[in-house]
Amino acid sequence: MNDLALKAAENLSRIRESNPLVHNITNYVVMNYTANALLSLGASPVMAHAENEVEEMVSFAGALVLNIGTLSDPWIRAMITAGARARAMGTPVILDPVGSGATTLRTRTATRIIREAGVTLIRGNASEILSLQQEGSGTRGVDAVDTVADAANMASDLATELGVTIAITGPEDIVTDGTRTARILGGHPLMAKVTGTGCTATAIAGAFAAVDPDPFTAACSALAFFGLAGQRAGEQASAPGSFMIALLDALYTLTPEELKSECHIDVLPPAETAGETGKLSR
């Protein structure tokens, strides 16, 4: 157990005591499941993407989550508008750059949101994150293709360049703000067999950011919680369908004390990475 594990338990307690409102502008594929995951955690989700209401809606929220999974021009405008309002209010903005690097539209939209919407935390897989640094290099859609070591080093540089915290999720999760870096272990192979687990992790990071003003510790807390919930769900489920239900149950039943004692968060020295050959895919 370390200070980050203690902080994760404290943040989980805060969420369940305060039920923070998390404003999501997210994709059609995951909208329902994401809302249920936030409810199971103890947060209050709202899914509002109409351009003419997002400024008002985000003014009530503890965090704003922007997800570019199913883009359209009106949604892009809504994300920029909501993000600008959140930035003016000091509300944390969490970006999930789904598929960034796969198409020009996705990559340019992600970089525009980072530039204009006051993003404080970015969560993605390795190829999505690396595309933000290497615009135009290309990826295999939403499949990660880079090693954990390369991703961690480049994410640290990118976090410093952009002034944000970056979370890369996969079999080993990496969180860095350019100065501090942590590795979080957990999850289950079934997480890669269902759609939307990464998007759900981003939404959960929004809930933790709503109660913790430090994006780095908020992200570590969120991924430690989600990873442990995924691990428990995988132990109960036999296949992808039952896993989705078991994951919601695990998000609901996992206690702060269990999170504190069972999560795996390692603080890494600046030069250390998570390994030379591992792949990130969640």
Contact 24, 34 (CB under 8 A): yes
Residue 74 lies in a domain: yes
Lowest mean pLDDT among 120-124, 126-130, 206-210, 248-252: 126-130
Residue 279 lies in a domain: no
Residue list, annotated binding site for substrate: 47, 196
Instruction: Report the CATH number that the domain containing residue 231 is assigned in CATH.
Output: 3.40.1190.20
Count the domains in the chain.
Answer: 1
pLDDT score recorded for residue 65: 99
β-partners of residue 184 are 173, 265
Q: Pick the closest to residue 28 from 106, 95, 98, 91 (CA basis).
A: 98
Residue list, annotated binding site: 47, 123, 169, 196
Lowest mean pLDDT among 37-46, 123-132, 270-279: 270-279
DSSP track, 87-149? HHHT--EEEE-TTBTTBHHHHHHHHHHHHHS---EEEE-HHHHHHHHSTTS--BTTB--SBHH
Asked if residue 205 has pLDDT above 50, the reply is: yes
Residue 44 lies in a domain: yes
What confidence tens digit (pLDDT) does each residue in 143-166 have? Answer: 444 466 666 788 899 999 999 999
Residue 60 lies in a domain: yes
Q: Pick the closest to residue 282 from 165, 168, 148, 158 (CA basis).
A: 168
Residue 239's pLDDT band (cuts 50, 70, 90): very high
The Cβ of residue 77 has, within 10 Å, a number of other Cβ atoms equal to: 12
What confidence tens digit (pLDDT) does each residue in 111-141 have? Answer: 999 999 999 999 999 889 989 986 544 444 3
pLDDT score recorded for residue 269: 78
Distance of alpha carbon 84 from alpha carbon 79, whole angstroms: 8
Residue 124 lies in a domain: yes
Residue 278 lies in a domain: no
The stretch 187-207 carries a mean pLDDT of 97
Distance of alpha carbon 239 from alpha carbon 246, whole angstroms: 10
pLDDT score recorded for residue 276: 45
Distance of alpha carbon 85 from alpha carbon 168, whole angstroms: 26
- Domain span at 105: 3-268
Residue list, annotated binding site for ATP: 123, 169
Task: Check: pTM over 0.75? Answer yes or no.
Answer: yes
Q: What is the mean pLDDT of the chain?
A: 91
Asked if residue 12 has pLDDT above 60, the reply is: yes
Residue 131 lies in a domain: yes
Burial tier of 22 (Cβ tally within 10 Å: 0-12, 13-18, 19+): buried
Tell me the percentage of the chain whose pLDDT exceeds 70.
89
Give ∠ CA 178-78-55 in degrees, rounded to 5: 90
Residue 152 lies in a domain: yes
Asked if residue 105 has pLDDT above 90, the reply is: yes
The stretch 20-34 carries a mean pLDDT of 98
Work out the widest C-alpha separation in the chain, in whole angstroms: 47
Q: CA of 116: how far to CAs of 66, 85, 110, 119, 207, in Å?
A: 13, 11, 10, 8, 22
The stretch 168-181 carries a mean pLDDT of 94
Asked if residue 281 has pLDDT above 50, the reply is: no
